[in-house]
Structure 1
Amino acid sequence: MKTQPAQLPQLLKKGLAPVYLVSGDEPLLVQECCDQIRKAARAADFHDRLTFHADNNLDWNSVADEFGAMSLFAEKRRIEIHLPTGKLGNGRNVLERVLQDPPEDIILLLISTRLDAAETRRKWYKDLQNKGVHIPVWPIDANKFQGWLQQRATNQGLQLTRGALSMLSERLEGNLLAASQELDRLSLLTNGGTIDEETIEQAVQDSSRFNGFELVTELLAGQASHAGKIIGVLQQEGENPLGLLSVLSRDLNLILELKASSGTGEAPAAFLKKRGVFQPQRVRAIEQANRRLNRSQLHSAIELCSTIDRAAKGFDDRSPWHHLRDLSTLLAARS
């Protein structure tokens, strides 16, 4: 079956399905749906977890072996498979076999970017809808972002003045992950008090002189030298690269969409405005990257983002900052 994120909590109360697919390009909402499923699974004694990343190096036979093996001490297990491209590739046959008779001691969680349209026509996906649950996560419309931000703040016990809400909405440009992090920070600074424009200005002044947003802009603009300096500062300050990575991945996919729209005759600025991109510096960086990079380079950059994600989660021998420097070199190239 297919359900919406808002319906997931009630669905989980009714019982667990053997397989879940959470897909979408909003990292925060995808993560929150996955966390709800993990929490429900742990409550049902599915404590042991195995994680796979479906990149070019994944041996799907090892995944099949895990489904066929008896778990140690007969413990229930969760198997999570990340699909960074929205495609299963060589894993389709494995999933088809698993979904024919899902094991009772395993819950499978597939975590994907927006699912490739071709995959929804394949047998494994139809089997998944019969045996499990698909939760597609869609971006918040630009004209609904301010309302989402207000509701998010209210849920955290924060009171935003009208001016503060407007300022935050303009500054965050629809980035949900950044919005969540900013509200968390404001909550700590204000201790639950009312947040006005002056509070936000002070919070900005107190923030680091370099931040993830500036790094993303410099990467897209091809400024490898300056990007390298920012990477060094963020690494020294112990920043988590996952936040900026979600912003960068979103913009790289946006550039691919911009290229695809070029045949329609729509001006890039008009296209970006429809997608909620208004900040002039970000508009210029995206347009520069669109002119400078070809589709192959953009796909390579998205694959490298997947490598950085894995490194940040401890699945790579090298640090995510090492791969970010490689990414800055790639994005500085010309097609």
Structure 2
Amino acid sequence: MTDLAPTIYLLYGNDEFGMAEFIQSMKQKLGDDSTIAMNFSRFNASDLVWSELESAASSMPFLASRRMIVLDQAERVQKKKETLERLLRLLDQIPPSTAFLLLERSASSKDTPASSGSTLRKWVKDHPSVSYMRAFEIPHGTGFAAWLQKRAAAEGGAIEREAAELLSEWIQEDPRLAAQELAKLLDYVDRQRPIVVGDVEQCTPYRGQANVFALVDAIGIRRGDQALMKLHQVLQEDEPGYAFAMILRQFRLILRARELMDSGLALDHTIHRSEFVVRKVASQARNFSQAEIERIFHELLAIDLRSKNGQMDLDVALDHFVATITA
């Protein structure tokens, strides 16, 4: 006896990229592009025409073994009793030749209707022989770095843990952007060796932040020549306003780290950044006393105010700041 493929699929969570990849993998099983075009339909609950959805769901596949229907933002259907009941009646009528995918999206996994026991999840649990359910949740912290390593391996390459943490920090745990940057990095190393921190610094827009790290390192050891060189590199790669924001952010993190270190508290659970960045910030914080960091931070805020008031160009102010602080 052959097991039948599920008819109803419930995908829920906050990882829209993961859902999109799952859908794409199922679409490829329908056949070539022309077959997919004739047997794939997508609807959104925000502007749903019920008659069109019901017609598509009940139609037989054309020159293929299955049809595939996607209903996006299915959480919207559950807000009204009449639309929910109509959807549940439709689910009972879906033929085995149709794969009907319900997507429930949320800002975070904790807010997902399905994860909190929605009616659709209950329906799926009550119909296990025809249903499939899967959570798609964006991992965080070390979990996202691990996700990058696993994805690199699946694509025939490898990325070292620190490099994965650095990439995770730059892309702010955005799976779609992470996949794009990871693909570029894998091509860069030609899958002949693992991706390392230097590759991430060299080949992604994170290189601007890498120069900020080097700039702050040079300020910390009072090497004015190195600090000015790195500042000029930062200003060449980014607009003065963005460069200033990165420098200010870095000293804000250092100030917070110095306060925690002086209080004997752990940084990793308080500074919500990757392990790589936490280690880097901690190392930089050791080069300054809290009084020095506070003075630097207040000077940066003063520079921000003067530039916004038109009293001094931001790039000139930063140049003067670095020269003075390392003298």
Q: TM-score of the superposition, structure 2-length normalised?
A: 0.50
The amino acid of 1:140's aligned partner reads: P
Cα distance, 1:94 vs. partner? 2.9
CA distance in 1, matches of 2:50, 2:269: 39
Q: What secondary structure, in the 3-state scheme, does the structure 2 residue paired with 1:177 have?
A: helix
Q: Indicate the residue corresponding to 1:59 in structure 2.
A: 49
The amino acid of 2:52's aligned partner reads: S
List aligned pairs for 1:147-186, cutoff 5 A: 147-186=146-185
Higher Cα Rg, which structure: 2
Evaluate the alpha carbon distance shift between residue 73 and residue 176 of structure 1 in structure 2; reply closer, same or farther with a 3 A threshold: closer
Cα distance, 1:155 vs. partner? 2.4
Query: Quick check: 1:82–1:110 contact (8 Å CA) kept in 2?
Result: yes
Query: Quick check: 1:60–1:91 contact (8 Å CA) kept in 2?
Result: no
Query: Quick check: 2:5–2:130 contact (8 Å CA) kept in 1?
Result: no
Match among 101, 109, 113 for residue 105 of structure 2: 113
- Note the aligned Cα RMSD (angstroms): 4.1
Evaluate the alpha carbon distance shift between residue 187 and residue 111 of structure 1 in structure 2; reply closer, same or farther with a 3 A threshold: same
Query: Quick check: 2:7–2:100 contact (8 Å CA) kept in 1?
Result: yes
Q: What secondary structure, in the 3-state scheme, does the structure 2 residue paired with 1:160 have?
A: coil
The amino acid of 2:84's aligned partner reads: R
Which consecutive residues of structure 1, in runs of 5 or more, have no partner in the other structure? Answer: 1-12, 209-269, 280-335
The amino acid of 2:55's aligned partner reads: D
Query: Quick check: 1:77–1:105 contact (8 Å CA) kept in 2?
Result: yes
Evaluate the alpha carbon distance shift between residue 206 and residue 65 of structure 1 in structure 2; reply closer, same or farther with a 3 A threshold: same
Q: Indicate the residue corresponding to 1:219 in structure 2.
A: none
Evaluate the alpha carbon distance shift between residue 14 and residue 75 of structure 1 in structure 2; reply closer, same or farther with a 3 A threshold: closer
Percent identity of paired positions between Structure 1 and Structure 2: 23
CA distance in 1, matches of 2:271, 2:105: 23
The amino acid of 1:38's aligned partner reads: K
Q: How many residues align?
A: 205
Match among 6, 27, 46 for residue 16 of structure 2: 27
Q: Indicate the residue corresponding to 1:16 in structure 2.
A: 5
Q: Indicate the residue corresponding to 2:39 in structure 1.
A: 48
List aligned pairs for 1:1-335, cutoff 5 A: 15-42=4-31, 48-55=39-46, 57-69=47-59, 76-83=66-73, 85=75, 87-89=77-79, 91-114=83-106, 115-116=112-113, 117=116, 119-120=118-119, 124-125=123-124, 127=126, 129=128, 131-194=130-193, 195-204=195-204
Q: What secondary structure, in the 3-state scheme, does the structure 1 residue paired with 2:139 have?
A: coil
Q: TM-score of the superposition, structure 1-length normalised?
A: 0.49
CA distance in 2, matches of 1:68, 1:81: 14
Query: Quick check: 1:100–1:127 contact (8 Å CA) kept in 2?
Result: no
CA distance in 1, matches of 2:72, 2:157: 34
Cα distance, 1:141 vs. partner? 3.7
The amino acid of 1:99's aligned partner reads: L
The amino acid of 1:29's aligned partner reads: G
CA distance in 1, matches of 2:191, 2:64: 46
The C-alpha deviation readout for 1:126-175, integer Å capped at 9, x for no partner, is 55556311112223142322222222222223333454233223223322
Evaluate the alpha carbon distance shift between residue 113 and residue 129 of structure 1 in structure 2; reply closer, same or farther with a 3 A threshold: farther
Q: What secondary structure, in the 3-state scheme, does the structure 2 residue paired with 1:22 have?
A: strand
Evaluate the alpha carbon distance shift between residue 176 and residue 183 of structure 1 in structure 2; reply closer, same or farther with a 3 A threshold: same
Which consecutive residues of structure 2, in runs of 5 or more, have no partner in the other structure? Answer: 107-111, 209-267, 278-327
| Higher relative contact order, chain-length normalized (CA < 8 Å, sep 6+) | 1
Query: Quick check: 2:65–2:97 contact (8 Å CA) kept in 1?
Result: yes
CA distance in 2, matches of 1:70, 1:191: 45
